[in-house]
Amino acid sequence: MSDITPIPSSNRLAPPGRDPVRLDASETGHVNGQAKTETDQLDLSELALLRSRLKDLPEVRAELIERARQGLTDGAYDTPEVLDKAIDGLLGEVDTL
């Protein structure tokens, strides 16, 4: 038997106007020959779920970003070829909507 009392469910972790995501885990055991089910519950806000996914994002390559910013500042990307490629990419994204 656990000495820990359950924490009451609340929406404290959810952003205003949003419901938390509820994760339930159940375990069935036997006490004195009778089945007994214990349930653990964890409520996570959408913000907490997004924060937990941060570790799955690729590493930011600051030097690559800085090189691209410098190229934009220097006008290295102001060519018809680069413009055509950018337009094609945008049109491709619009087509998927």
Conformational region of residue 75, where left means phi above 0, alpha means psi within -120 to 50, and beta covers everything else: left
Are 45 and 23 a contacting pair, CB within 8 Å? Answer: no
Q: What letters, b where the CB count within 10 A reaches 16 and e where it falls short, cover 85-96?
A: eeeeeeeeeeee
Distance between CA 23 and CA 44 in Å, rounded? Answer: 8
Contacts with 11 (C-beta within 8 Å, 6 or more apart), sequence order: 19, 20, 43
- Has this prediction a pTM greater than 0.85? no
Q: How far apart are the first and last CA of the chain?
A: 54
Altogether, the residues listed in the chain come to a count of: 97
Per-residue pLDDT of the chain (97 residues; tens, 9 = 90+): 556 666 655 444 555 555 555 555 555 566 566 666 777 777 778 888 888 888 888 888 999 999 999 999 999 999 999 999 999 999 988 877 7
Distance between CA 36 and CA 32 in Å, rounded? Answer: 10
